[in-house]
A and B are shown apart, each in its own frame.
Chain A
Amino acid sequence: AAGVIQSPRHLIKEKRETATLKCYPIPRHDTVYWYQQGPGQDPQFLISFYEKMQSDKGSIPDRFSAQQFSDYHSELNMSSLELGDSALYFCASSLVDSLGSRLHFGNGTRLTVT
């Protein structure tokens, strides 16, 4: 079965640079989420989109922005990178059906800021 696809898998940037992370959700899933996970931490919700419209906002810094495109893929744009932005960034998608809603995660992008 198709899964959530993220690219790139690894990214190394310097402080104050910008980064763009991409996510391709599972086909027909209507909601996309972005999460940030630090070492030994649970995923922290950043932002979500429902049918290409921003639906919820979590602890996303103002330096970050995201959007979902007409083909449902999503991009997380990160500017003025700081050392503390080094983390795993996960995209997840979900579809509400008769059983409810459950998240399916990609394998993440590991961002290292030096």
Chain B
Amino acid sequence: QKEVEQDPGPLSVPEGAIVSLNCTYSNSAFQYFMWYRQYSRKGPELLMYTYSSGNKEDGRFTAQVDKSSKYISLFIRDSQPSDSATYLCAMSAPTGNQFYFGTGTSLTVIP
């Protein structure tokens, strides 16, 4: 079993919809949580970064971490066609310098 589980999708939504992307994990030592956006043939781009539990908002994007449930989410409001990409969650622990990735969710926003 992978340390980080993510529904690969694909997910297809109409423009303007609210998108919810989720990951679960098993290692309670994880403290740092990241969401990356990856366009085709490009490197993953750091989108959101959260430390420990709580919410973080940046424009149309909101990252949530629920450590008690070992569950993280990324919400995209007013989704745009330019949001069409693969979204990867990643996490790490304070000790060591390894990062653990989900398999990525492919999102398509239809105009």
Q: Are B44 and A56 in contact (CB under 8 A)?
A: no
Q: Are A100 and B99 in contact (CB under 8 A)?
A: no
Closest to A108 in B: B43
A-B contact count (CB 8 A): 64
Q: Are B46 and A103 in contact (CB under 8 A)?
A: yes
Question: Cβ of A64 < 8 Å from any Cβ of B?
Answer: no
Beyond A42-B88, A56-B98, A108-B43, whether A103 also contacts B103 by CB under 8 A is no
Beyond A42-B102, A100-B32, whether A50 also contacts B43 by CB under 8 A is no
Question: Cβ of B76 < 8 Å from any Cβ of A?
Answer: no
Question: Cβ of A110 < 8 Å from any Cβ of B?
Answer: yes
Q: Which of B31, B49, B94, B101 has the most CB of A within 10 A?
A: B101
Q: Are A105 and B44 in contact (CB under 8 A)?
A: yes
Question: Cβ of B34 < 8 Å from any Cβ of A?
Answer: yes
How many residues of B sit at the interface, in one of the four size bands? 20 to 34
Which residues of chain B are near A25, meaning CB under 8 Å? Answer: none
How many residues of A sit at the interface, in one of the four size bands? 20 to 34
Question: Cβ of A41 < 8 Å from any Cβ of B?
Answer: yes
Q: Are B103 and A42 in contact (CB under 8 A)?
A: yes
Q: Are A101 and B41 in contact (CB under 8 A)?
A: no
Closest to A90 in B: B43
Closest to A41 in B: B103
Chain A residues close to B by CB (< 8 Å):
4, 31, 33, 40-43, 45, 48, 50, 55-56, 58, 88, 90, 92, 94, 96, 99-108, 110
